[in-house]
Structure 1
Amino acid sequence: MSYHLLALLLIPLVGSGLLFALKGKTGKYMAFGIALIQMLVTFFVLYGFDARPTVDSVLQHEINYPWSQFLKSSLHFGIDGMSMLLLLLTNILVPLIIYSSFNENVSYRNSFYALILLMQFGLVGVFTALDGLLFYIFWEVTLIPIWLIAGLWGQENKRFQFTTKFFVYTFVGSLFMLGAFVYIYNYAPSFAVTDMYNAGLNITQQTVVFWFIFFAFAVKLPVFPFHTWQPDTYTYSPTQGTMLLSGIMLKMAVYGIFRYLLPITPDAIAGISGSIVLMLAIIGVLHGALIALIQNDIKRIFTYSSFSHVGLMVAGIFATALLVMKGKFTIEGGEGALVQAFAHGFNVVGLFYCADILYKRFKTRDIRQMGGLARVAPKFAVLFMIVLLGSVGLPLTNGFIGEFILIKSIFDYNVLAAIIAGITIILAAAYLFRSYGKTMFTEGDERVLSTAKDLTDAEFAVMASIAGMVILFGVFPQPVIELVSSSLKFIYQSMLN
């Protein structure tokens, strides 16, 4: 048994329980301390992690304990390169997300932070579960805290409208996934992922299973046209809720595509299903960018930007999967998607935090009513620009290498799709720089600017940390690529077995 992985699972769960029981005003410090401990344990696991492509087994730190002979399901956890990358993303971002709320007057703060840690527990479970039923359980565990965070701490007059839609979409999608897993279970010895891979489904069965599982992932990402819950949920959730949703939670579906969808339904992907998803993803890339271009609400601009970037990840994953099934073995699209997922997590959290900072200064999310903030908040102007450049994908920022690999992988499969995806990079620069220009440099309300201040210590610490990640992984992206390469080779090779 790996006690390191067990610690990663138990620290946020125990911390959440303690916070629910705690009374007083020290909850935020306790939550931050627990999140920091979790981050340090993650770094310790990373230090001992063997990411070499020649490693005999892609799985490390395994826990495998049979807990239900009747269901033939086990408490089976393990870490490979994909898991390690997403654990890093989760456990670095959670303390930043908690710290970002330190200047806010959060009601029922202990419960608020307890729910964040409970969600962190669910995320760690999703990224390490190696049993289909266990994966589904943790998938549902993450839904409950984010639904409560969005609904109870969201915008007062909108909370019941958007949370119901969000919950229905995601819960129904999850039931489709459960139905697919149960169907596979009828043809597999157990819920273990390796048994599910070898269930021996024919192409018709794989096609049905593919769309059931994909629907759950498409809602979570989201992929066009399953995205209609996203704009309102991202806009009216509290900032920390939006950060969790956009920065980490949607990566669950990216992980799920690799861990379950590709190895279980390769023949369906090689048929019409993979091409349909690729088409939907490319439509989403362009659709999100065009809508972001005409938005004036700063949170909606960043929401549709995230939607567009996610579409590019999905397109890269399936373009490479289709190439593999046609006999050209490559992992480029998978590499690009995971590198971009890691970069997107930091970038989108930074953007939504910038939106929160702007709202606190101007008391509006409308960029037409902002302006001139660079004169009175130069530190914010610089850090906002760094995060924005990472989202645009400027060379030597973390958003560049993943975007470049994704475009190349799509180009290798279909030139027209790559051209459309490439156009959206230009559109991204247009709507993001428009947002920056409107908020930082246009003529603003002098009455507002006279009282506006630069970043507080907490705001500066969060923004500087994210900006540092943008530069660090832009200059040194190779460690991320090396971390996931052996896992991706195993996943794409599983499609051919």
Structure 2
Amino acid sequence: MSYLLLTLLLLPLVGSGLVFAWKNASSKYLALGIALIQMLLTFYILSDFNFEPTVDSVLQYEINYPWSQFIKSNLHFGIDGMSLLLLLLTNILSPLIILSSFNENVNYKNSFYGLILLMQFGLIGVFTALDGLLFYIFWEVTLIPIWFIAALWGQENKRMEFTTKFFVYTFVGSLFMLAGLIYVYIHSASFALTDLYNADLGETQQIVVFWFIFFAFAVKLPVFPFHTWQPDTYTYSPTQGSMLLSGIMLKMAIYGVIRYLLPITPSAIFGISGQIVIILAIVGIVHGALIAIIQVDMKRIIAYSSFSHVGLMVAGIFSSAVLTLRGTFTIEGAEGALVQTFAHGINVVGLFYCADILYKRFKSRDIRQMGGLAKVAPKFAVLFLLIILGSMGVPLTNGFIGEFILIKSIFDFNVLASIIAGLTIILCAVYLLRFYGKTMFGEGDATVLSTAKDLSAAEFSVLASIVVFVILLGIFPQPIMDMVGSSLRLVYASMIN
């Protein structure tokens, strides 16, 4: 069945080439069709996936061909539960992101949609690569299309300045990761993931490798204090660029931390390095939330909200890792992080699209210049509210169970840390309800409201699809935990072997 994974990997690459060559307005429909085929193929793999694998068959749909014997690297791909979850997120959000642009007058449509499909190709490669060098290559591939999308279709004159800052941050981080992976490779048999896990590294060597690789992930997530590129890049990117960055691209780093960093450098995590990361993550939780409260630009509110939520995921992952290395085997933090990764991806894409809809009605990103839209756009008001509730982690929405598990995991590590991290629940409610109240209620500009319309068919389709996942995963979160459980147990077990 490896041909299914090969198709999943190559279809967006081939589709991207076709869309680039498609020199007319219908290129958006071609791109949407390819993205929908990808989504259906992923659901087929989901339906055929064995969720109770043995230790020897956790990987499914595996592809493994020699690539370079000189550097001992293979074209090695495969899917386990963790990969499958992120493939689902990527291939569910990609068609929604494409559809979200249908009401916009996009210049150079074929290039815009071709770059989105190229981005999808890179993301799928990252989430399925089982070779360290291959992982790095696909990691870099994703940087190319998102840079062009943000720089060429971004908003206002500052987009190039901030997009360049984003590129420099992430590219430098990637070089540190490459240096770290090469160092591990020198002390192992090959770039194969299992060989990297078994590299002969002492404690000091692991600490150095840890910080080299973690720097790349910390920038991409981002983790405090490597976050300064994020608010500006999210703000000045086009809506679809912000969706790709926040909804999917930052999830590469969550995946990379679990798949690569934890098993390769357990001694570093057991020592002071793991605790430093937890402290930085918790500082980011509070720092991001407090700054979000005072923002008036919609996209900056969402950007700082994302920064705060990611801090909670990182703290949970490392809390479980430290506890496991201390002798209390637990995957709770990583499990909660992956559940929250999926929920956050869905919710943040919904929030950015709601911000785009508001911008089109009010011609401003300043929430102080809005108000009263609920009176003339009731469908939008209801769907927007449900996405807000999911982002706040209200029970029976998709954001609740992951947040609960993460705080529980941090509590097991340190009570005080969990109390501080738990502030995210209160602070998140403050800035998101403020955001919703300022835009939906009050008097508002009568002239603007007199011409404002409720959702178009495309807008309703995107938001309604997102709300389905907000509710469905809030009521039935167990399938995600079942999906990732076996993979996480093997990853965490490999730290102590």
- Compute the TM-score of the two structures, normalised by the length of structure 1: 0.99
Corresponding residue pairs, total: 497
Distance between the aligned counterparts of 2:399 and 2:54, measured in 1?
28
Structure 1 contact 53–482 (Cα < 8 Å) conserved: no
Identity, % of aligned positions: 77
Local SS of the residue matching 1:495: helix
Q: What do residues 58-117 of structure 1 show as CA deviations (whole Å, max 9, x unaligned)?
A: 111100001101110000000011000000000000000000000000000000000000
The corresponding residue for 1:348 is: 348
* 1:64 correspondence with 2:56: no
| 1:214-363 map, 5 Å | 214-363=214-363
Deviations 1:308-354 (A, max 9, x none): 00000000000000000100001100110000000000000000000
1:148 alignment partner, SS class: helix
Contact between 1:60 and 1:80, CA under 8 Å: does it hold in 2? yes
For the residues of structure 1 that align with 2:21 and 2:455, how far apart are their CA atoms?
33
Matched with 1:449 is 449
Q: Give the partner amino acid of 1:286.
A: V
1:40-79 alignment runs, 5 A limit:
40-52=40-52, 54=54, 56-79=56-79
Q: How does 1:411-490 map to 2 (within 5 A)?
A: 411-490=411-490
Alignment correspondent of 1:380: 380
| Whole-Å separation in 1 of the counterparts to 2:85 and 2:163 | 30
CA distance in 2, matches of 1:53, 1:230: 39
The one-letter code matched in structure 2 to 1:301 is: I
Q: CA RMSD of the aligned region, Å?
A: 0.7
Q: Measure the CA separation in 1 of the matches of 2:58 and 2:156.
A: 47
Deviation at 1:423, TM superposition (A): 1.2
Alignment-mate amino acid for residue 93 of structure 2: L
- Counterpart of 2:423 in structure 1: which amino acid? I
> Which position in structure 2 is the counterpart of 1:17?
17
Letter in 1 for 2:165: K
- The CA distance in 2 between the partners of 1:423 and 1:26, in whole Å, is 48
Write the distance in 1 (CA, Å) between the matches of 2:100 and 2:20. 20
8 Å CA contact 1:351–1:388 kept in 2: the answer is yes
Counterpart AA for 1:423: L
Aligned AA (2:364)? T
2:85 is aligned to 85
Following superposition, the deviation at residue 357 of structure 1 comes to 0.4
1:148-187 correspondence to structure 2 within 5 Å: 148-187=148-187
CA contact (8 A) 1:203 1:267 kept: yes
In the other structure, the counterpart of 2:395 is 395
Distance 1:54 1:331 in 2: 18
Cα distance in 1 for residues equivalent to 2:130 and 2:304: 33
Q: Could you tell me which amino acid in structure 2 is paired with residue 456 of structure 1?
A: S
Give the superposition deviation at 1:51. Answer: 1.3
Q: In the aligned structure 1, how far is the partner of 2:145 from the partner of 2:3?
A: 26
Residue 198 of structure 1: aligned partner: 198
Distance 2:62 2:290 in 1: 45
* Paired residue type of 1:269: I
SS of 1:77's equivalent? Answer: strand
Aligned partners of 1:275 and 1:39: how far apart in 2? 39
Runs of at least 4 residues off by over 3 Å: 53-56
Distance 1:183 1:118 in 2: 30
SS in 1 for 2:451: coil
Query: In structure 1, what residue type is equivalent to 2:380?
Result: F
Task: Report if aligned partners of 1:53, 1:485 keep a CA contact under 8 Å in 2.
Answer: no
Aligned residue for 2:351, secondary structure, equals helix
SS of the aligned residue for 1:112 comes to helix
The question of whether the paired residues in 2 share the 8 Å contact of 1:122 and 1:142 is answered with yes
State the secondary structure of the residue aligned to 2:271: helix
Q: Distance in 2 between matches of 1:142 and 1:264?
A: 24
- Residue 230 of structure 1: how far off its partner (Å): 0.2
1:57, CA displacement in angstroms? 2.2
Q: For the residues of structure 2 that align with 1:463 and 1:24, how far apart are their CA atoms?
A: 27
Residue type matched to 1:325 in 2?
Answer: L
Residue ranges of structure 1 left out of the alignment (5+ in a row): none
One-letter code aligned to 2:320: T
Kindly tell me: are residues 53 and 78 of structure 1, through their superposed partners in 2, closer, same or farther at Cα, counting changes over 3 Å? closer
Tell me the distance in 2 between the aligned counterparts of 1:22 and 1:194. Answer: 42
Q: Helix, strand or coil: the match of 2:496?
A: coil
SS class of match (1:319): helix
Aligned-partner Cα distance in 1 for 2:349–2:91: 13
Q: SS at 2:141's partner residue?
A: helix
After superposition, what is the alpha-carbon deviation per residue over 1:220-276, rounded to whole angstroms, capped at 9, x for unaligned? 000000000000000000000000000000000000001100000000000010000
Report what 2:119 is aligned to: 119
| Aligned residue type for 2:11 | I
1:138-161 CA distance string (max 9 Å, x none): 000000000000000001311221
Specify the alignment match of 1:100 in structure 2: 100
What's the offset of the Cα at 1:20? 1.1
What's the CA shift string for 1:4-31, capped at 9, x where partnerless?
0000001100000111111111100000
Work out whether 1:7 is the aligned partner of 2:7: yes
Measure, in 2, the Cα distance between the counterparts of 1:432 and 1:177: 35
Q: Which amino acid in structure 1 is aligned with residue 242 of structure 2?
A: T
CA contact (8 A) 1:277 1:318 kept: yes
Distance 2:423 2:98 in 1: 36
What one-letter code is carried by the residue in structure 2 that aligns with 1:109? K
SS of match in other structure, 1:450: helix
Please report how far the alpha carbon of residue 55 of structure 1 lies from its aligned counterpart in structure 2 after TM superposition.
5.7
Tell me by how many angstroms 1:485 deviates: 0.2
In 1, the alpha carbon distance for the partners of 2:56 and 2:132 equals 24
- 1:331 and 1:371 map into 2 onto residues whose CA distance is 44
Q: CA deviation at 1:54?
A: 4.9
The answer on whether the counterparts of 1:288 and 1:304 sit within 8 Å (CA) in structure 2 is yes
- Rounded to whole Å, the distance in 1 between the matches of 2:200 and 2:279 is 28
Answer yes or no: is 1:32 the counterpart of 2:32.
yes
Opposite residue 108 of structure 1, the aligned amino acid is Y
Task: Tell me how far 1:427 sits from its aligned partner.
Answer: 0.5
CA distance in 2, matches of 1:56, 1:260: 19
1:118 partner amino acid: L
Superposed CA offset, 1:180-226 (max 9, x none): 01111111110001000000200000000000000000000000000
**SS at structure 2 position matched to 1:361:** helix
SS at match of 2:223: coil
Task: Give distance in 2, aligned partners of 1:136 and 1:181.
Answer: 9
